[in-house]
Amino acid sequence: MSFTLAPQAPAPLAAASQNSSLVDPFGRTISYLRISVTDRCDFRCVYCMAEQMNFLPKAELLTLEEMARLSRAFIARGVRKLRITGGEPLVRRNVMWLFNELGQHLKDGSLEELTLTTNASQLARHAEGLAEAGVRRINVSLDTLNADRFAEITRWGRLTQVMEGIAAAKAAGLKIKINTVALRGVNEDEFDRLVEWCGEEGHDLTFIEVMPLGEMEGAARADQYLPLSMVRARLGRRWTLTESTHRTGGPARYFDVAETGQRLGFITPLTHNFCESCNRVRLTCTGTLYMCLGQEDSADLRGPLRAHPDDEAPLMAAIDRAIAGKPKGHDFVIERNRTAPAVGRHMSVTGG
Ligand code: SAM
Ligand code: SF4
């Protein structure tokens, strides 16, 4: 007697390693994935991009379907939080399809949080859709409340458009955290006003120290660098700041502002070592996984993804190898007499 086996469907994430959580060699569980969906942007912030940028050919980008598939793999391995970033994520065509797709994981409980970091230029038309997809909180980058200064910092941005985006997000019920890069001699006179404005609007606020990422013309980053210890000390003269127990596993420390009732964060990768609690990895829009914002260690996931469209095992094995190589930490240094950045890629590649 002879018989033929019918072609089998790909094994659904069956092997033990394919269901286990991602723990790196230093015992850190990876529960947070940031996905950069594009390297393009409609702004050219002076600390982030050069005015003339060479963007990646579109063929090199992962499709949105591939990003959804990769996300599924990470969620199956215990990732509970996804952040969509860029470049500017909302300039990627059809990006709302991806939000809706990923939102399904919120509905079935396999994902705890889906969020995004945006410059808010396109937020007015997407805020409702984001809320419907299940997004509850977003980060909006805003370094100044002054329109002329905004145009100088972003080169191509218009403050009114961003303010409309923020208002639309608030109206849609999204909780907003404003991210402000602290720039010496550029916006340091506005920090009190930003705390006050965020208090009035009900937004949390986080200051970010400028980081030495990416080559760009004319930007003297050592001159832009403003230690947040100094910012915090100055804010402490006007506001009652109480250190909060709030932690995200990332490089931020939080304070409660008694006068406004809002939270104030400080992201200080240069002056603080936050690596022991690092729970995150970053995926670029070409499918490269970076295990650390400050190191070059990376792994290609696009190869296994495309080579095996119907089999998750090679992709899972590549993710395992990548996590096994997550470095212990990083060592950023801004030296005044040094022009090359500590890490040569722009934040718009790894998504901040
Ligand atoms: N375009 C979106 C935005 O601006 O929110 C998302 C991508 S952007 C690369 C993510 C964050 O990185 C923004 O808050 C931005 O201010 C920050 N960023 C970019 N370059 C930086 C640098 N050199 N140092 C510190 N923060 C930087
Ligand atoms: Fe664009 Fe965001 Fe970079 Fe500004 S910080 S240039 S908005 S990616």
Q: Which atom of ligand 2 is nearest to the CA of 348?
A: 8
| Number of structural domains the chain divides into | 1
Q: Is 211 in the pocket of ligand 1 (CB under 6 A)?
A: yes
Testing ligand 2's pocket by substitution, the residue of 34, 36, 39, 45 carrying the most ligand atoms inside 8 A of its CB is 45
Confidence of residue 295 (pLDDT cuts 50, 70, 90): confident
Asked if the model's pLDDT at residue 343 lies above 80, the reply is: no
Q: Is 226 in the pocket of ligand 1 (CB under 6 A)?
A: no
User: Residue 185: its pLDDT value, please?
Assistant: 94
Confidence of residue 339 (pLDDT cuts 50, 70, 90): very low
User: Residue 276: its pLDDT value, please?
Assistant: 80
CA of 48 to the centre of ligand 1 (A): 6
Q: Tell me the average pLDDT of the chain.
A: 87
Asked if the model's pLDDT at residue 218 lies above 90, the reply is: no
| Residue 61 and residue 3 in contact, taking contact as beta carbons nearer than 8 Å | no
Burial level of 164, CB count in 10 A (0-12/13-18/19+)? middle
Instruction: Give the ligand at the shortest distance from the Cα of 179.
Output: 1
Q: How many residues does the chain have?
A: 352
User: Residue 348: its pLDDT value, please?
Assistant: 60
Return the H-helix or E-strand segment holding 302.
Answer: helix 302-307
Q: What are phi and psi of 240, to 5 degrees?
A: -90, 105
CA of 131 to the centre of ligand 2 (A): 23
| Residue 348 and residue 285 in contact, taking contact as beta carbons nearer than 8 Å | no
Q: For the CA atoms of the chain, what is the radius of gyration? A: 21
> Average pLDDT, stretch 138-150?
98
Q: For the domain that residue 301 is a member of, what is the CATH number?
A: 3.20.20.70
> Average pLDDT, stretch 168-188?
97
Question: Given the DSSP bridges, would you call strands 81-85 and 32-36 parallel, antiparallel or unpaired?
Answer: parallel
Tokens of 171: 């109206």
* pTM of the model as a whole: 0.90
User: Residue 72: its pLDDT value, please?
Assistant: 98
Torsion of CA 106, 64, 124, 254, to 10 degrees: 50
Confidence of residue 215 (pLDDT cuts 50, 70, 90): low
User: What residues line ligand 2, using a CB cutoff of 6 Å?
Assistant: 41, 43-45, 48-49, 86-88, 119, 141, 348
Tokens 């959804």 -> residue: 68
User: Residue 4: its pLDDT value, please?
Assistant: 36
> Average pLDDT, stretch 296-308?
94
Asked if the model's pLDDT at residue 143 lies above 90, the reply is: yes
> Average pLDDT, stretch 271-284?
79
Tokens of 294: 């400050």
Q: What residues make up the domain containing 202?
A: 2-350
Where do runs of H (alpha helix) occur along 155-291?
159-171, 191-201, 221-224, 228-238
Confidence of residue 94 (pLDDT cuts 50, 70, 90): very high
Confidence of residue 259 (pLDDT cuts 50, 70, 90): very high
Confidence of residue 344 (pLDDT cuts 50, 70, 90): low
Q: Is 119 in the pocket of ligand 1 (CB under 6 A)?
A: yes
Testing ligand 2's pocket by substitution, the residue of 122, 152, 154 carrying the most ligand atoms inside 8 A of its CB is 154
User: Residue 213: its pLDDT value, please?
Assistant: 58
Between 112-126, 313-327, 333-347, the lowest mean confidence (pLDDT) is in 333-347
CA distances from 220 to 78, 201, 227, 295, 334 (A): 41, 34, 15, 22, 11
Bridge partners of 26? none
